[in-house]
Amino acid sequence: MSKKSSTAPGAEGTNPDEQEQAVTVRARVLVSCAYGNCNDVIDIDQALAETLAGQLDTNPAAVEYAESLVKE
């Protein structure tokens, strides 16, 4: 998992919400949808991925399996 932040923690004059770090996860697409086709592997915000159960699978084994498939 990778983390990224647009502001340094504790910086003066910043909004506390801006100090939160967005977490990106890798996910296997389970069904063709706006996020890709079946068995695509995408990087997506963790909070969004959690709302898309049934369309995406963030389990590392699922991601590894999708990456192992040969795309024609």
Model confidence pLDDT, tens digit, residues 48-66: 999 999 999 999 999 999 9
Q: Is residue 11 part of a domain?
A: no
Whether the full predicted model's pTM is greater than 0.85, yes or no, is no
Query: How many residues in total does the chain contain?
Result: 72
DSSP 17: G
Q: Is residue 63 part of a domain?
A: yes
Task: Tell which wins on pLDDT, 5 or 26.
Answer: 26
Q: Is residue 30 part of a domain?
A: yes
Q: Is residue 38 part of a domain?
A: yes
Q: Is residue 70 part of a domain?
A: yes
Q: Is residue 8 part of a domain?
A: no
Tally of domains within the chain: 1
Least confident span in 13-22, 28-37, 46-55: 13-22
Q: Does residue 10 surpass a pLDDT of 70?
A: no
| Contact in structure between 56 and 27 (CB atoms under 8 Å) | yes
The boundaries of the domain holding residue 36 are 23-72
Residue 44: which of 52, 7, 6 has the closest Cα? 52
How far is residue 7's CA from residue 54's CA, in Å, rounded to a whole number? 34
